[in-house]
Amino acid sequence: MKSFSQVYRDEINGVLELAAPIATDVLQEMAKKALGSGIQPSADEREGVTRECLGFLRAAVRKPAGRRALRTLQVGALLHAALRWNRTQKLNANDIFDFHHAGAALGYCDAFLTDGPMHALLMQRHLGIERDFPCRVMSSVEDAAAWVWHRIA
């Protein structure tokens, strides 16, 4: 691990390799609905479509709009990369739940209330969370109360 960007690229590529066959399934279902259920691609055709989907997904995450569109995958990859990059931090079972919670919140909510360690992890500058997602991350009751008060005032 020579740089955070390398670690992130490894993580996002791994996630996208898992997502590409799912995208292929979605496209196949769309084709069946549009063209009839008699459409059944060969193994080679399916593999080619999966490679194309992977290429599209990789191109998408290179742009801010693509990262926002694939927000749950993006946040998950960033958090896993941050954990790997911090060699002194060990993964525990609750981290996985926290990562899913953050992945759901950051891309879809205005505010995310979390504990101090997750807040510190998310605010690491090299993650660039605030660049791609407008969600406000807070870990103190005072900050949350001030945020709510500002929104209703």
pTM of the predicted model as reported, rounded to 2 decimal places: 0.85
pLDDT digits over 36-58, tens only?
877 788 899 999 999 999 999 99
The b/e string for 106-124 (b: 16+ C-beta within 10 A; e otherwise) is bbeeeebbbeeebbebbee
pLDDT digits over 22-37, tens only?
999 999 999 888 888 7
Please state the domain extents for the chain. 4-152
Radius of gyration of the chain, Cα coordinates, nearest whole angstrom = 19
